[in-house]
Structure 1
Amino acid sequence: MMPATSPPPSPRAERNGRLSAEDWAQAALDQIAEQGVAAVAVEPLARRLGVTKGSFYWHFPSRDALLVAALERWEKVEQEQVFGHLEAIADPRERLRALFELVAHEYKAHIIYSELLKALDHPAVQPVIGRVSERRLDYLTASFRQAGLGRLDAQNRARLAYAAYVGFLQLNLQLKQARLQHDEFEAYVDHMMATLIPSELPR
């Protein structure tokens, strides 16, 4: 999931050497969220950041190297800020509820993921999506196992939960279906949790 976007660095920041590779990677992620993977390019990002192209080439040899760095940042932030945060919740059912709530309300993260799904034919995108999807499914499966489901049931429940997430993105972002009103969306999330999360731990 994505953190809040920091304000663009100023040209003075560039001169003082404070513009980092991470700034460029975050700007690339912002660009992906707004216009897709194909829109990641050096000149518009330099304008966005208020710097010259020379700042870019100080950190990256090419646009593809920047894209790889942006995807690695996206993957790392999700792993640290989502899964790392949830590990503090001992009850697996509460952990699943917290995961559902967190994912449901990270709209920008949905947009980035949806745009990456559109670009699965890109050689830099496919392995990242593959790793992220595998990690998400493994996490869901382990949580459902800890919540009392057997191995096969937990795997199937994890697949169903993940398919519901991806399918909802397809409907709302890629197929341009009208977004649900707040109360209707919250009721949908509650329904998903009630349907997928076991009601009690085994004795």
Structure 2
Amino acid sequence: MPTKPILHRDDPTAEPLTGNVKVTRADWLNVAMDVLISDGVERVKVLALAERMGVSRSSFYWYFKSRQDLLDALLTSWEQTNTAAMVAQAEAPAKTITGAVLNVFHCIADPDLFNTALDFAVRDWARRSGKVRSLLDRSDARRVAALSEMFERFDYPELEAQTRAKVLYYMQLGYDMAEPNESYEHRLKMTPQYLRVFTGREPREDELEEFVHYTKRFWDV
């Protein structure tokens, strides 16, 4: 996400000020994203966002041409984080397929790598917008394709790779949506079992230990 303002005025160095408060493009995007997640896209309105930040809404137009421009920026941010992160993790080097799946599981552990709440907010938005629905469909297809290619790298036949990719992807979506009341300790205990189900292969102890070490940065275990 760019931190340098994209201005729509003649002076490229000018920055909007409201009293002693300076707001940036990132501020507008972050607050809009919070509202999208908590209240839905209908509540992402310029005046409401300005009031939340305690600034004049005129500063909005230094960075965005319109509310739609802001909404498009939110979708771009979502694609450049969630979708790009999952694809990158699926493509990350691994010695085994279980190690590759654990790379993808990093998206579950690290909220900065993959924002689950934002993903659900975009899915809810897609129920009201054909444009967003099309974008979501393309994103889902891109994620599943990356996971399918991950399985194929480890010599799974094409159809089996696609099937395992879909089971892995859509199971995780449903799991997150259900929000089961489980401790992270329990989730880690189940991880080897999930890997056996998703891959049909036995995970290595060193891979599991590395994943536990990774999750400790984010999970209270």
Same fold (TM over 0.5): yes
For structure 2, the residue ranges without an aligned partner over 5 or more in a row are: 4-14, 203-221
Q: Percent identity?
A: 24
Root mean square deviation of aligned Cα? 3.0
- Consecutive unaligned residues in structure 1, runs of 5 or more: 7-12, 173-177
Q: Deviations over 1:51-71 (max 9, x none)?
A: 210111222232222111111
Do the aligned residues in 1 keep the contact of 2:87 with 2:147 (CA within 8 Å)? no
Q: Does structure 1 residue 56 correspond to structure 2 residue 60? A: yes
| Distance verdict in 2 for CA 1:14–1:153, change over 3 Å | same
* Larger of the two Rg values belongs to structure: 2
What secondary structure sits across from 2:65 in the alignment? coil
**3-state secondary structure, aligned to 1:91:** coil
What is the distance in 1 between the residues matched to 2:67 and 2:192? 42
Selected match of 2:164 from 138, 157, 161? 157
Give the corresponding residue for 2:103: 98
Is the contact between residue 25 and residue 67 of structure 1 (CA under 8 Å) also seen in structure 2?
no
Aligned with 1:138 (options 145, 160, 164): 145
Q: Compared with structure 1, are the counterparts of its residues 38 and 169 closer, same or farther at alpha carbon in structure 2 (3 Å cutoff)?
A: farther
Residue deviations 1:75-102, cap 9 Å, x none? 1123554544664524352232111233
Q: Deviations over 1:22-80 (max 9, x none)?
A: 43223222222222222211122223334210111222232222111111011112355
Structure 1 residues 154-163 or 24-33, which shifts more? 24-33
Give yes or no for the alignment of 1:47 onto 2:54: no
Deviation at 1:149, TM superposition (A): 0.7
Q: TM-score, normalised by structure 2?
A: 0.70
Relative to 1, partners in 2 of residues 1:105 and 1:77: Cα closer, same or farther, differing over 3 Å? closer
Q: Aligned residue for 1:72? A: 76
Cα deviation for residue 190 of structure 1 reads 3.8
Q: How many pairs are equivalent?
A: 185
